[in-house]
């Protein structure tokens, strides 16, 4: 039995496991050639990271800097160089779905954005065939950029709103005016973007049930395809973390309020955070991509790449000075054919990752696939699965394929961390944050 602890549901916000193992488990190792890392793989999700924003929000620890003095065009040239070298050493890698994230990709000018899209298409990403997504912030998203995104057939546009109340935005340390949000959302709605997602944050200390309902009402007025409800996490070295600000004590009640509001207003819940408009529930093309088993090839400073047994990236930091140093190092790199920073996944870590990806963020747990991959039953190895069943948090959607039900989804941020290995927890706690 690999996990015997029981879940502590008195603390529903223990950690968001959007990737496992966490970046703070990454360490330097002797260089490994990309061609060796990828020799048994032939397809991957494609991710490009744009580590620039027009502001640095108080809650955010993503790998990004605001208003960089460095030349953004130099960064794009470096992305092109990296892609060219990857194509050379892994010529048979087929890319399927893709995402352009950050930071804020729409921080780029229209011309820079177009150059980026062209380079990605040249690399072999085909937005007409595969589903792609791009992130934006209200202030940087002009009608011209929306038109460009549409012309490249990038299907999904995702933008942070966080709140429709100025005092809450100020408490989040996000220098964004409500008028700016309004204009950007109206532009997206008018442009008829295929899929658009808006993010809201709950749990700011001055947020009330009423004020959260107001933000939700304002948001659904535009009928976004998806709405993400993010619990506020106050993280180390961020603006709010340094000020020692605290999340609202009513965070979980706020979540239930928000969830029920969306369920009663035409949205279906697909994970703890994600709510999808009912009419859009089946309209995403099935490209055979699986977040559980597929690889990822990441381009840019801060981007991660994954194969089955190795995850790697550039160095990681949260503070502006250190992030700038890493971006500058990236831009002066001439050789992208080997890597030396990341984490290896032994079989135990691969099992844990499989279960985390299956149980959170809208995944499904396919028991036959697990048994075929690892020659063992996950119920025999991970007591937590029995606990999920005892708590009636699992629904069998087809024979031997399970997903978390509505009650279970409330606790994704308890279930994810409960599946971390002792080794990963140790590496995370030893990590030197900078
Ligand atoms: C890359 S940003 C979205 C695009 C764009 N940069 C923006 O801010 O509008 C990712 C999203 O993650 C959420 N997020 C990031 N850090 C968070 C935190 N500490 N607590 C809660 N939500 C967070 C925010 O809702 C944010 O919109
Ligand atoms: S929330 Fe978005 S705009 Fe704000 S710092 Fe993070 S990535 Fe940049």
For residue 373, give its domain range: 347-426
What's the mean pLDDT in 96-123?
Answer: 96
Residues 132 and 244 in one domain: yes
**Residues 269 and 352 placed together within one structural domain of the fold:** no
d(CA 318, ligand 2 centre) in Å: 12
The string of pLDDT tens digits covering residues 335-344 is 999 999 999 9
pLDDT in tens, 119-176: 999 999 988 889 999 999 999 999 999 999 999 999 999 999 999 999 999 999 999 9
Which one of the ligands is nearest to 162 CA?
1
On whether residue 288 sits in a domain, the answer given is: no
Percentages (nearest 5) of helix, strand, coil residues in the chain: 40, 20, 40
Ligand number nearest CA of 53 is 2
CATH number (domain holding residue 170): 3.20.20.70
> Are residues 274 and 354 both part of a single domain?
no
Lowest-confidence segment of 5-9, 154-158, 243-247 by average pLDDT: 5-9
- pLDDT above 90 (res 1): no
Cα 288 to averaged position of ligand 2 atoms, centre (Å): 31
Return the percentage of the chain with pLDDT > 70, whole number. Answer: 97
40: alpha, beta or left? (left if phi > 0; alpha if psi -120 to 50) = alpha
User: Taking residues 362-384, what's their average pLDDT?
Assistant: 94
176-207: pLDDT as tens digits: 999 999 999 999 999 989 899 999 999 999 99
Same-domain status, 222 and 357:
no
Task: State which of 280, 306, 338 marks the end of a domain.
Answer: 280
CATH code, domain with 414? 1.10.10
Question: Is any atom of ligand 2 closer than 6 Å to the C-beta of 305?
Answer: no
Q: Could you tell me how many residues make up the chain?
A: 434
How many domains would you assign to the chain?
2
Statement: residue 288 has pLDDT above 70:
no
Can you tell me which atom of ligand 1 is nearest the CA of 59? 19
102 lines ligand 2 (CB under 6 A): yes
Q: Is residue 329 part of a domain?
A: no
108 and 251 belong to one structural domain: yes
Identify whether residues 355 and 251 lie together within a single domain.
Answer: no
Write down which residue in 245, 280, 315 finishes a domain.
280
The 3-class SS string of 83-137 reads: HHHHHHHCCCCEEEEEEEEECCHHHCCHHHHHHHHHHHHHHCCCCCCCCEEEEEC
Q: Single out the residue in 247, 280, 313 at which a domain terminates.
A: 280
Is there a single domain that holds both residue 245 and residue 383? no
Residue 360 lies in a domain: yes
Residue 8 inside a domain? The answer is no
Q: Is the pLDDT of residue 367 over 60?
A: yes
Residues 29 and 123 reside in one and the same domain: yes
């Amino acid at each position: 039995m690999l996990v015997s602890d029981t879940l502590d549901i008195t603390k529903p916000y223990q950690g968001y496991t959007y990737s496992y193992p966490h970046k703070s488990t990454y360490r330097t190792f002797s260089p490994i050639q990309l061609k060796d890392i990828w020799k048994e793989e032939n397809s991957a999700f494609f991710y490009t990271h744009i580590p620039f924003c027009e502001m640095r929000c108080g809650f955010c620890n993503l790998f990004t800097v605001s208003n960089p003095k460095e030349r953004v065009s130099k960064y794009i040239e470096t992305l092109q160089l990296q892609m060219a070298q990857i194509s050379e050493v892994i010529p048979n890698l087929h890319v399927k779905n893709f995402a352009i994230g950050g930071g804020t990709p729409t921080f780029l000018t229209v011309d820079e954005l177009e150059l980026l899209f062209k380079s990605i298409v040249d690399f072999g990403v085909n937005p007409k065939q595969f589903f792609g997504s791009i992130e934006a912030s209200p202030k940087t998203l002009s009608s011209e950029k929306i038109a460009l995104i549409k012309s490249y057939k990038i299907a999904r546009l995702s933008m942070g709103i966080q709140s429709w109340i100025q005092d809450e935005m100020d408490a989040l340390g996000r220098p964004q005016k409500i008028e700016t949000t309004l204009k950007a959302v109206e532009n997206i709605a008018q442009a008829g973007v295929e899929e658009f997602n808006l993010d809201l944050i709950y749990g700011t200390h001055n947020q009330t049930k009423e004020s959260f309902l107001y933000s939700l009402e304002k948001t659904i007025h535009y009928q976004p395809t998806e709405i993400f409800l993010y619990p506020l996490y106050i993280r180390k070295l961020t603006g709010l973390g340094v000020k020692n600000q605290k999340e609202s004590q009513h965070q979980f009640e706020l979540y239930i309020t928000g969830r029920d509001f969306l369920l009663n207003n035409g949205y279906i819940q697909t994970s703890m955070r994600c709510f999808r408009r009912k009419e859009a529930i089946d309209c995403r093309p099935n490209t055979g991509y699986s977040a559980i088993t597929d690889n990822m090839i990441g381009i840019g400073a801060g981007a991660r790449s994954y194969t089955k047994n190795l995850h790697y990236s550039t160095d990681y930091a949260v503070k502006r000075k250190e992030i700038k140093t890493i971006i500058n190092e990236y831009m002066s790199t001439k050789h992208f054919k080997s890597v030396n920073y990341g984490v290896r996944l032994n079989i135990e870590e691969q099992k844990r990752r499989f279960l985390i990806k299956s149980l959170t963020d809208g995944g499904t747990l396919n028991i036959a696939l697990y048994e075929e991959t690892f020659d063992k039953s996950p119920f025999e190895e991970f007591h937590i699965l029995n606990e999920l069943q005892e708590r009636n948090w699992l629904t069998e959607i087809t024979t031997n394929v399970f997903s978390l039900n509505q009650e279970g989804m409330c606790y994704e941020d308890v279930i994810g961390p409960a599946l971390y290995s002792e080794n990963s927890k140790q590496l995370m706690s030893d990590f030197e944050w900078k």
